[in-house]
Structure 1
Amino acid sequence: MSKKTDFTRRRALGLMGAAAGVGAVAGFTPTKFAIGQQAKVRIGTLLPYSGTYARLGEAITNAMVMRFAQGKDMLGGREIELIRLDSEAAPPKATENTSKLVNSEKVDFLVGPVHSGVAMAMAKIAREEGVMTVIPNAGADQITGPLCAPNIFRSSFSNWQPGYPMGRVLAEEGKKRVVTCYWNYGAGQQSAQGFKDGYADGLKETGGDGEIVKEIGVPFPDVEFQSVLSEIAALKPDAVYTFFAGGGAVKFVKDWAAAGLKDSGIELTGAGFLTEGVTEAQGEAAEGIRTTLHYADTLDNPVNQVFRRNYREMWGKEADVYAVQGYDAAELIRIGLEAVDGDMGARGEMVAAMENAVIDSPRGPLKLSAAHNPVQNFYLRKVTNGVNAVERIAVEALSAPSQGCSMG
């Protein structure tokens, strides 16, 4: 069921005390688009508000609300109406849910989803209908590959990206025998491919030798890992690269420690989602785990410091990468609408403004590739006292392959 939220000036002003101060949040340019002064901008979110990924959907939405509040809940001189629809991270429902937002709710912007399987169906409809779309999490490589379109943007990552730098790190450190273990669906498979590509490139550059001794796919969203952990223990690799998130990541890390693997000499690594936003639930089991991601709690830049403080004050919890991606999704929408003074009919100018955006993000510098995928730094992080602390930049300004993308 969808949930509509009308933002009001009174509510926005109430939030501004907590939200003011991130990035360039000066007063917006007065609109010259007459209709924009009458009609609200309808933004539909197709995100998980229940189930395994509910916390991710909440973080994305919270950060969007915060960013919009910083502009007094106005975009291009128009008020905002947010229509929330629970995706349930369920691909079979994706077509129906997307159609509801686009055709029934007639949203101006579509934002979502988290799950790559949902994203595939959503992107196909967005392409057909031409609705402006920003993807704040789902990393399906196809979205900025064969399914790319002028109206589709991503504020997160491609699934290939977070794995690539971890592969390079392990190769450069001389890890010779590596296992990959991941949820066996699109996101996990593409993440593992990124890792393998990075590992191969790292071996070439260092002149080292190494191999992926085993790939272990776990059915999504299965969280029974005992047989997998037994297999890894028997293989005795130097390191394991994983792709799990949310509740599954909590379970895997705790089971890893309980099985005695934490002290076995086998290093557990992964895409940053393994420990992102869940270290408190993982507790001591997460200590020392290294991951690579385009964001980290301890990034030492002024925008991130203010962003985290504002998010904490507004929502009573810590921000994470999902919140950053939601915040930057809202910023992309703002840039597009401000460029055309709220005129949704000025599609070409809006797309151009979003394509050329250079965002001073909490994650660091952010721009978009020709396929509308983020070009961004990826950081090597280590869980230290429950925090994903930055060790260094693993790969700077990493772009993702976009085979099959044609914007024609």
Structure 2
Amino acid sequence: MRIRPSLLARTLLGSALLAAVAAPASAQDKIKVGFMLPYTGTFAALGTAIENGFRQYIDEQGGKLAGKTVEFVKVDDESDPAKAVDNVNKLIKRDNVDVLIGTVHSGVAMGMAKVAKETGTLMIDPNAGADAVTGPMCALNIFRSSFSNWQPGYAMGKVAADRKIRTAVTLTWKYAAGDESVNGFKEAFTKAGGKIVKDLTLPFPNVEFQALLTEIAALKPDAVYTFFAGGGAVKFVKDWAAAGLGSSIRLIGAGFLTDGTLEAQGAAAEGLLTTLHYGDSLNTPRDNAFRLDYAKTYKLQPDVYAMQGYDAAQMLADGVNAVKGDMKQRDALVKAIESAKIDSPRGAFTLSRAHNPVQDIYLRKVSGKVNRNVGIAVKGLADPARGCRL
């Protein structure tokens, strides 16, 4: 059970947070945003999409929040957890940023969250789903605009059970995001009577799948649940199709398997079912406007990563506007973000006590080059935030 402190205790926590780090000099006339994202390697396209989405929202505000110019500083995190602490300290100590925006890789996000918690620096996680960021590592100054790894995994476990899938193999890279996504799937799937035949992994970012596909063919499960993203997802889906397993085994996964990857996957992805907090065919006025503006600006269709970046900027704006641009009012800024209802392209969402989105998880089916929404897998799904003590 999570402990909820009294208002007085939360006020004291907020005061400690404010005192933990001196307000940067830049806060007087501008708001300094530090992007710590992958700009090279497997997740490079994802980092770029997050930055694009964030900048789109800021541009819609005329490049300012509460009348203050927004300035950007960038660090390539290289999806390398070993470099996370040094990289985040560059942004905090060298560049004096007011807010950290990052990242994609869950292992890197854990390093970011550790430093953000220690220094009191405001952090908004626009992708990495590491459960611990809004679990044991939760803090008043740490927020997420995306998802926890548990959320889409749990939703797909429920979908699989509802569709009478009885046996499943799980397959992912051996790292935090993969482990936590698989655990979410297994929690819902086994609770409904499903059986996990075997958990298969390979080191990140290895993409040599052939031996694993051979093993899956021998195991003959009803379905394979996967967690891959970026270039790895492209390679896996193509290898899966080439192996011809789809005629007898259902391939399902967290939505990152097919989000931002369909162009490269081509016909190999046709018909795949995934669960995620966004889709390509929501067809709401809010989402249609977002997608049109993004396509005009960047000559690309937006994906879940762009949307999460966009919403990270919205969350920051809610806080900044509440304090009229005075970043020294950290406690009031944090409380404003906590209580915000975000008018997201995915559909409006609120934040849990642990600062993770409480949101609908969609079931999507690949049709052509679109992750078509075919319904809501779980409505208003809140991450359990196990270990959070806010």
Query: TM-score range with shorter-chain normalisation?
Result: over 0.9
Matched, 1:252 2:233: no
2:219 paired with 1:235: yes
Work out whether residues 168 and 222 of structure 2, in 8 Å CA contact, stay in contact via their aligned partners in 1.
Answer: yes
Render the CA deviation track for 1:158-215: whole Å, top value 9, x for unaligned. Answer: 11111001000111111111111111110000000000111133x1xxxxx4300111
Name the structure 2 match of 1:341.
324
Shift of 1:38: 5.1
CA distance in 2, matches of 1:138, 1:347: 24
Classify the secondary structure of the residue corresponding to 2:34. Answer: strand
CA distance in 2, matches of 1:75, 1:83: 16
Determine whether 1:67 maps to 2:57.
yes
CA contact (8 A) 1:108 1:131 kept: yes
Alignment match, 2:37: 47
- Partner of 1:309 in structure 2? 292
In structure 2, runs of 5+ residues without a counterpart are 1-24
Check whether the contact 2:27–2:98 (CA below 8 A) recurs between aligned residues: no
- Output the amino acid matched with 1:345: K
1:218 aligns with 2:202: yes
Q: Aligned-pair distance for 1:58?
A: 0.3
**1:170 matched residue in structure 2:** 160
Whole-angstrom distance in 2 between the partners of 1:258 and 1:220:
22
* Counterpart in the other structure of 1:282: 265
CA deviations over 1:28-78 (Å, ceiling 9, x no partner): xxxxxxx99952111000000111000000000001111001111111211
Tell me the equivalent position of 1:190.
Answer: 180
Deviation at 1:385, TM superposition (A): 1.4
Normalising by structure 1, we get a TM-score of: 0.88
Residues of 1 paired with 2:104 and 2:380: CA distance? 23
What letter matches 1:187 in structure 2? A
Matched, 1:104 2:94: yes
Q: 1:394 to 1:286 in 2, by over 3 A?
A: same
Of 118, 123, 139, the residue aligned with 2:129 is 139
Cα separation, 2, equivalents of 1:210 and 1:104: 51
Aligned to 1:262: 246
- Quick one: distance in 2 between partners of 1:83 and 1:137? 18
The aligned counterpart of 2:15 is: none
Maintained 8 Å contact 2:190/2:196: no
Q: Deviations over 1:297-325 (max 9, x none)?
A: 10121111110000000000000000000
Q: Deviations over 1:81-123 (max 9, x none)?
A: 1001111111111000000001111100110011100011111
Structure 1 SS opposite 2:177: helix
**Partner Cα separation in structure 2 for residue 72 and residue 145 of structure 1:** 35
Q: Which amino acid aligns with 1:399?
A: A
Distance 1:36 1:339 in 2: 19
1:117: which partner in 2? 107
Task: Decide whether aligned partners of structure 1 residues 37 and 210 sit closer, same or farther in structure 2, where only a CA change above 3 A counts.
Answer: closer
Give the TM-score normalised by structure 2. 0.92
Q: State, as a whole percentage, how many aligned pairs show the same letter.
A: 55
Give how far 1:404 is off.
Answer: 1.5
Kept in 1: contact 2:26–2:32 (CA 8 A): no
Q: Which runs of 5+ in 1 are unaligned?
A: 1-34, 204-208
Paired with 1:397 and 1:210, the residues of 2 have a C-alpha distance of 24
Q: Where has structure 1 moved over 2 Å in runs of 4 or more?
A: 35-38
Letter in 1 for 2:363: L
- CA deviation vs aligned residue, 1:357-397 (integer Å, no higher than 9, x gap): 10121111211000000100001100011210011000000
Contact 1:377 1:393 in 2 (8 A): yes
Q: 1:190 & 1:198 partners in 2: Cα distance? A: 13
Alignment-mate amino acid for residue 55 of structure 2: V
**Paired amino acid for 1:184:** K
Give aligned pairs, total. Answer: 366
RMSD over aligned CA atoms reads 1.1
Task: Determine the C-alpha separation between the residues in 2 that align with 1:381 and 1:63.
Answer: 22
Contact kept in structure 1, 2:27 and 2:326, CA below 8 Å = no
The question of whether the paired residues in 2 share the 8 Å contact of 1:36 and 1:343 is answered with: no
C-alpha separation in 2, matches of 1:36 and 1:103: 13
Query: 8 Å contact 1:36–1:78 — kept in the other structure?
Result: no
Q: Which residue of 2 aligns with 1:327?
A: 310
Q: Which amino acid aligns with 1:211?
A: K
